[in-house]
Amino acid sequence: MALKRAETAAGNGAVQTNGEEHDTFEFRENPRINAQIDGFIKQNPKRWDFIKSMSRERLERALVWEKVRGYEQRQKLGDGLLKKIEQNPALKKDYDALMKHVPEDQRNRVSVQIARSLVFSQSRGQKQGANGIAA
């Protein structure tokens, strides 16, 4: 299920009540995702029962924990990729050449994407070279 801000007459996706502004969300249904969820529930009835027994606060905290873990994993991967770039002068040169074309306000967002592309393309090239395939 995806979250989408419900647009209001003001067009800002927020509702004002008693002088306070509150976000409102509209849930979109995705039949493919719903089918995957239903399949998981059928295959894991005990897990589903456990999930249903959780309090709302516990469910909310579990969801936030999953988001935190995912964010930390992405950070760790990004840090590792950037470290590999720093350790390889040829990759560092390519990285710097690509980054100079990126607007300053977008550099944080794309730096890991560029590092990932360079490191993975280098890895593919090394594998192909090891297999006797010209890179």
pLDDT digits (tens, 9 = 90+) for 73-113: 999 999 999 999 999 998 899 899 999 988 988 888 888 89
H runs (alpha helix) in 5-131: 31-43, 45-53, 56-87, 89-99, 107-130
Res 129 pLDDT > 90 = no
User: Is 89 in contact with 73 (CB distance < 8 Å)?
Assistant: no
**What pLDDT was estimated at residue 21?**
60
CA angle 42, 45, 46 (to 5 degrees): 160
User: Is 55 in contact with 26 (CB distance < 8 Å)?
Assistant: no
pLDDT band of 11, cuts 50, 70, 90: very low
pTM: 0.59
Res 15 pLDDT > 90 = no
Rg (CA), the chain: 23
pLDDT tens column, 57-76: 999 999 999 999 999 999 99
Other Cβ atoms closer than 10 A to 114: 19
Res 1 pLDDT > 70 = no
pLDDT band of 16, cuts 50, 70, 90: very low
Q: Which of 31-35, 62-66, 100-104, 123-127 has the lowest average pLDDT?
A: 123-127
